[in-house]
Amino acid sequence: MESFIDIAKLAKKASVKAQGLSGIIKDKGLIAVADALDKNKNKIFEANKKDLEFAKELVENGELTKSTYNRLKLDENKMRDMIQGIRDISKLDDPVNKVLLKRELDDGLILQKVSCPIGVLGIIFEARPDVISQISALAIKSSNAVILKGGKESKNTNKTILDIINEALSHINEFPQGMLNQVYTRDDVGEMLKADKYIDLIIPRGGNSLVKFIKENTKIPVLGHADGICHIFVDESADFDLAKRVVIDSKTQYPSACNTVETLLIHKDFANAKELIKSIEDMGVEIIFTPETWHKEYSDLKLAVKYVDDVNAAIEHINEYGSGHTESILTENKENAEQFMNLVDSAGVYHNVSTRFADGFRYGFGAEVGISTNKTHARGPVGIDGLVIYKYKLVGNGQIVNDYATGIKHFKHKDISI
């Protein structure tokens, strides 16, 4: 078995060659991958059955939750969605080789800022075998190499899926060997977090504790979010019916999602506060008026509630206790809405809508890499654009800096329309 560092070196080499893949070849690869998964789906179901048998024992012993077991299980519907997801990614615009800026620095000296892949992505995910095909497809489309580490419960399924994908790509000459890699052990995770020489970006897909652990144990940039402590502020002038509908959707539509509301801030003079709280309780939500901490993500039918003096107090509370994910103000006062959206320091700042809209597919990105609460690179729901960076290409005919330093020549800095 290859060591992690061998795999990482191979991925780094492959990432250089992957920069040269054309959009046409990449889409050809994606369609070949989708076809191959479709053709070999029984092999995948068999591998998945093996994983499920093992996982069943773990559930019986109380070592695995029933919901993890369910996420692990692949059925015809999930398989169809998985394969369709790859075909959808093949239809997206090529995110690489986009000219972002074109500027004539001087006669015959042309600067271009061009999008390019990041390099090698490290993906650490839990028991959801559909992640492996989705991330592989996103990596292909964005010309990045990738090292995947899935949960041990789905090892057979993951291995079978990636083997099928790599087999399909091996028939297309242009794809470099070692572009899509998988590792399996806990030790590999440790090695990955240390491999800042080879890995350019780590994307964790899983629960808070996984993401926190990764962020605290690597110097490699991490794209993701640990907590999703989302807030709704019901202003004095909020429409009661609207508030009821939006708060209930934000809390109950999918309580364990990261964009679910966890804290409700209510203006002290909002007339329908009691009715609003009752209507939330009627949906089976437990209201917590004096929580142990305002930093808590319940991921459950529980909602912390606090009365605040005004929009400024709401903004202050959110910036102090929030996780920078998504917050919504419900108000008929446009000035307050603007104040809230400008001063709340979160990836998503909403007015009169549910926090549950924070999602790459709902934003129309076509694919979602994850949701980031970072303040650099990519923030909020991240589409495939989050997997690219840019380089500057400068083409001339012998220009030297000394001519400009001595005043013989002068820069023109004339933008050329793209």
Interacting positions 332-371 with a second copy (CB under 8 A): 337, 339, 341-343, 345-354, 356-358, 362-364
Q: Closest CB to a second copy among 162 and 247?
A: 247
State CA 322 to chain mean position distance: 19
> According to CB under 8 A, which residues from 368 to 387 bind a second copy?
374-381
- Closest separation between CB of residue 79 and a second copy, Å? 21
CA atoms within 13 A on the CB side of 289: 4
Task: Give yes or no for residue 389 binding a second copy (CB under 8 A).
Answer: yes
Q: Closest CB to a second copy among 307 and 404?
A: 404
> According to CB under 8 A, which residues from 106 to 135 bind a second copy?
109, 111, 118-119
Q: Return the residue matching tokens 């994910």.
A: 325
Three-class SS state of 14: helix
Task: Give yes or no for residue 390 binding a second copy (CB under 8 A).
Answer: yes
Dihedral pair phi/psi, residue 21, rounded to 5°: -70, 135
Distance in angstroms (rounded) separating the CA atoms of residues 130 and 85: 10
> According to CB under 8 A, which residues from 301 to 320 bind a second copy?
315, 319
Applying CB under 8 A, the span of 66-74, 204-212, 236-244, 270-278 interacting with a second copy comes to 236-244
Dihedral pair phi/psi, residue 31, rounded to 5°: -70, -40
Nearest of 291, 335, 293 to residue 311 by alpha carbon: 335
- Closest separation between CB of residue 309 and a second copy, Å? 17
Three-class SS state of 203: strand
Distance in angstroms (rounded) separating the CA atoms of residues 418 and 404: 26
End-to-end CA distance of the chain: 49
Site string for a second copy, 69-108 (x = CB under 8 A): ----------------------------------x-x---
> According to CB under 8 A, which residues from 158 to 217 bind a second copy?
200-201, 215-216
Contacts of range 22-27, beta carbons closer than 8 Å, 24 or more positions apart: 22/174, 23/94, 23/96, 23/97, 25/172, 25/174, 25/175, 26/94, 26/140, 26/141, 26/143, 27/90, 27/141
Task: Give yes or no for residue 288 binding a second copy (CB under 8 A).
Answer: no
Q: Closest CB to a second copy among 32 and 198?
A: 198
> According to CB under 8 A, which residues from 391 to 410 bind a second copy?
391-402, 404-405
> According to CB under 8 A, which residues from 242 to 261 bind a second copy?
242, 245-246, 248-250, 253-254
Q: How many chain residues interact with a second copy (CB under 8 A)?
A: 77
Of the candidate residues 239, 272, 296, 321, the single one contacting a second copy (CB under 8 A): 239
